[in-house]
Structure 1
Amino acid sequence: MVVQQHRSGVGVRAVCALAVVGVMAATAGCSGGGGGDDRAMADERGGADSLDVVHRAAAVLAGTVHGTGTGTGTATGAGARSVAGSAEVRTSMETAAGGTRVTIRGRGAYDFRNQVGRLEVALPEDAAGEDRHRPITELLAPGALYMMNRGAGVPADKWVRIDTTTLEDGNLVTGGVTDPMAAAELLRGARQVTYVGRTELAGVAVRHYRGISDIGRAAREASPKSRGALAAAAKGFRTDTVPFDAYLDEQGRLRKVRHRFSFANEGPAVEVVSTTLLYGFGVPVSVRLPDDRDIYTGKIRQRQPGGTRARARTKAGA
C-alpha cells in the first residue's frame, strides 16, 4: 500500500474535517506515510502499449482521441472508434479507520467534453450525526464543486461553492466523490502499469490494469480544465503516488477505476478507497450552474476530529 500524506498534520486534519461532507472527520482522526517507484513499465502480457492505453483513457472519454483498442495497439472496424463524450456514473467512497468503515455512494451523469456533471450523493445513516440525511446534490465543474443539502447550517435552498483549486486534495476526496474526469486524468500520471487480465463488468468484456500514478505528473499532462485542481493536490500531498485499478473496454474507454488513498498523522490511519463506474456512454447531460444569488456566503459548521465543531465561512466564488 502506498501512503498519501499531507505536508502538515494541520493540513491533514483540515481536509479530513471537510472530506466526504464531514463523514471522515466523524469516523476518525488522521495520521502518516510512504513512497513510490519512479520506473515506468508496461507488462508485456497486456501488449507493449499497456502504459499508453492507460495514459489515453481520459482523452478517449473526452472524445479528443479515438480508442485504439486495449490489446495489441492496432485498431480495426468498430474498435477503432469509441462513443464517449459523456456517461452515466456510479461512485462509492469507502473510509476505514479504527475499525470503523463508512461508505458514501453517488449516482448521476457526467459530460467529459465540458467537464461538468451532476450527482446525487447518499450518506449512510448516522454518518452525518443524524439518523437520516437528505441526499446531497453535487454539481461538478472545472475548478469548482457546488453542493446543495450540505446541512451544517446552510439553508436548504442555497448552494455551497468550493474552489477545488484551493483544496489540499484538489477535491479527490473532499466531496465524498472523486470527480469522474479527475479520476481519469489521474491515469495520465501512471508510471507503473501491469496487465492483470481479461474480465467482465456488467456483461462487457474489459481488460484490467493495475498500477501506480503520480499526481504531479498527472497534473502536468492533464487537460487545461483539470490542471488546477490536480496541481493543488500535487502540492498538498507530500507523497503524491496513488495505487489504482483500471478497467478498459475494447474501445479504450474507461469503465471502472479504483484509487486508494491513505491519510496518516498521530491518530489511526484513515484509508480511503474511491471507485468510479462508467456506463451508458453518450447519454445527454444537462448541468446548469447556480447563479451567484443562490450561493450561500454565511458560516458553515464543520466537525473536527474528536467531535468538536468549528465554523468556517464560505464565499461566492471561493
Structure 2
Amino acid sequence: MVVRKLRRAGGADAVTATAAVVAAVATGLTGCSPGAADAAPPVGAVVANGGKAGDGAAGGSLDAVRAVPGLLVRAGTSKARTALEMATGGTRLTIEGEGGYDFRAGRGRVRVLLPEDGDRPRRRITELFTPGALYMKNRGAGVPADKWVRIDTTTLADGNLVTGGATDPGAAAELLRAARRVTYVGEARIGRVPVAHYRGTTDIAAAARLAPPRVRGALAAAAKGFATDTVPFDAYLDEEGRLRKVRHRFSFTNGEREVDVESTTELYGFGAPVDVPLPPQRDIYAGKIAG
C-alpha cells in the first residue's frame, strides 16, 4: 500500500487528515441526494450477467447492481486493491492497499502503508477483516510490532467503512444490496476487462437490514453513526455480473473541518487462494493503546 500526498498544504495537515480516518471517524457522514431514476443500458451495450441490453432481466441496471454480493459469494475469492482518498483544507492524501478476500467466509487480508508522522518513518500495517472484527498488526502507539490489536467493528461509528484506511471489500459489496436510482453510464475497461459502468446511491441502514449476519452489525453501527444513510457510488461489473470496481463517496466533519473521503475497491484474480488465519490469543495485545 502506498500513500500519495497529491497536494500538500503543510505536514501537520497531511498527518491530521490521515489520522482523522485511520484513527477514528469523528462525526456523521454527509451524502448527496438521490439521483435520476433507474435506467436500462442502450440496446446492444455490454451489460452485467453476460447479456445485451434489452435482453430482459440482464438489462436491468438496478437488478444487476443489487445482485453483486450474491455473485461474489458464488465466485468465492478474489485478489483486491483498495484506495482511500481524503481531502481536507488544501491537502489530499491517497492510502492504497493490496491483498485478498474470501467472500464466502467474510474474511480478508490487506497490507497498508501509513505516511510519515513527524520524524517517524512510514510503517506497514497488516489488517485482517473478519465478521465483526478488524485485526491490525504493527499498529504502533505503544503496541509491540509483533502483536495484533483486535477492534470490534460493531463499536465503530463508521462500522469500519473508512476507519482502518481500507474498506472491507465484503462490506463495500454489501452496500450495493440497497442500491437505488441506478443509471447505466456506459461501457468501460478495467485493465483489459470490459465492464459496464453504473452510477447510483445506496442506503446504509437498508443495506444493514438486507445484509447477512456476519456484516449486519458493522453496517448497523455505520447507519447509526453517520449523519445520513445516503452514499453515492460508481460500480463496474464484468460480463458475468461480478464486481470489478466500486467507488463510494463519503464526507464527515472533523472538528470545524469537512473531510471528503473516496473509497475505492478493485477486485481481480477471482478464485485465487486466500488464506486468512486468525492470530492466536497469545499474540493479541491486551495493554493500553497510546492513541
TM range (shorter): 0.7 to 0.9
- 1:63-110 Cα shifts (integer Å, max 9, x gaps): 1xxxxxxxxxxxxxxxxxxxx210001111011101111111110111
TM-score under structure 2 normalisation? 0.83
Secondary structure of 2:222's match?
helix
Q: Deviations over 1:225-265 (max 9, x none)?
A: 11110011111112011110000000000000001100026
Q: Deviations over 1:90-141 (max 9, x none)?
A: 11101110111111111011101101011111123x2x44452221000110
Q: Measured at CA, do residues 168 and 203 of structure 1 come closer, stay the same or move farther in structure 2, by a change above 3 Å? A: same
Asked if structure 2 preserves the Cα contact closer than 8 Å seen for 1:97 and 1:268, the reply is yes
The Cα shift of 1:148 comes to 0.3
Q: Does 1:250 align with 2:239?
A: yes
Residue in structure 2 matched with residue 36 of structure 1 by the alignment: 33
User: Are residue 55 (structure 1) and residue 77 (structure 2) matched?
Assistant: no
1:88 is aligned with what amino acid?
K
Identity of aligned residues (%): 62
Matched, 1:108 2:99: yes
Q: Quote the residue 2:208 is aligned against.
A: 219
Note the alpha carbon deviations across 1:263-297, whole angstroms, 9 max, x for none.
Answer: 02651210001110100000011111012221111
Q: Retained in 1: the 8 A contact 2:36–2:183?
A: no
CA contact (8 A) 1:31 1:267 kept: no
Question: Structure 1: which 5+ residue stretches go unaligned?
Answer: 1-15, 64-83, 303-318
Q: Which amino acid aligns with 1:154?
A: V
One of 229, 233, 245 as aligned partner of 2:218: 229
Please state whether the residue corresponding to 1:243 is helix, strand or coil: strand
Native 8 Å contact 1:30 1:269 kept in 2: no
Deviation of 1:18 after TM superposition, in Å, equals: 6.4
Aligned to 1:21: 22
Distance 1:32 1:276, change over 3 A: closer
2:120 equivalent to 1:120:
no
Residue-by-residue CA offset, 1:168-209 (whole Å, 9 max, x unaligned): 100000100000000000111111211000011111000000
1:179 aligned residue: 168
Partner of 1:166: 155
Kept in 2, the 8 Å contact 1:31–1:270? The answer is: no
| 1:220-299 matched pairs, under 5 angstroms | 220-264=209-253, 266-299=255-288
Which consecutive unaligned segments of at least 5 residues does structure 2 have?
1-16, 43-52, 54-58
Structure 2 counterpart of 1:87, from 78, 82, 106? 78
2:139 match: secondary structure: coil
> How far 1:44 sits from its partner (Å)?
2.4
Residues 153-174 of structure 1: per-residue CA shift (max 9 Å, x gap): 1011110000001111000001
Cα distance, 1:269–1:20 mapped onto 2, change above 3 Å: closer
CA pair 130-109 structure 1, distance change in 2 beyond 3 A? farther
- Helix, strand or coil for the counterpart of 1:257? strand
Give, as a single letter, the amino acid of the residue that structure 2 aligns with 1:123: L
Does structure 2 conserve the Cα–Cα contact (< 8 Å) formed by 1:171 and 1:178?
A: yes
For 2:186 and 2:243, locate their aligned partners in 1 and report how far apart those are by CA, in whole Å: 15
What is the identity, as a one-letter code, of the residue corresponding to 1:21?
Answer: V
Q: How many residues align?
A: 260
SS of residue matched to 1:219: helix
> Residue 140 in 1 paired to residue 129 in 2?
yes
Identify if the C-alpha distance between structure 1 residues 150 and 32 changes in structure 2 by more than 3 Å, giving closer, same or farther: closer
AA partner of residue 72 (structure 2) = L
Letter in 2 for 1:36: S
Task: In structure 2, give the amino acid aligned to 1:42.
Answer: D
Specify the code of the residue in structure 1 equivalent to 2:143.
Answer: V
Q: TM-score, normalised by structure 1?
A: 0.77
* Separation (CA, whole Å) in 2 of partners of 1:18 and 1:292: 28
Q: 1:55 to 1:159 in 2, by over 3 A?
A: same
Q: Are the counterparts in 1 of residues 193 and 238 from structure 2 also a CA contact under 8 Å?
A: yes
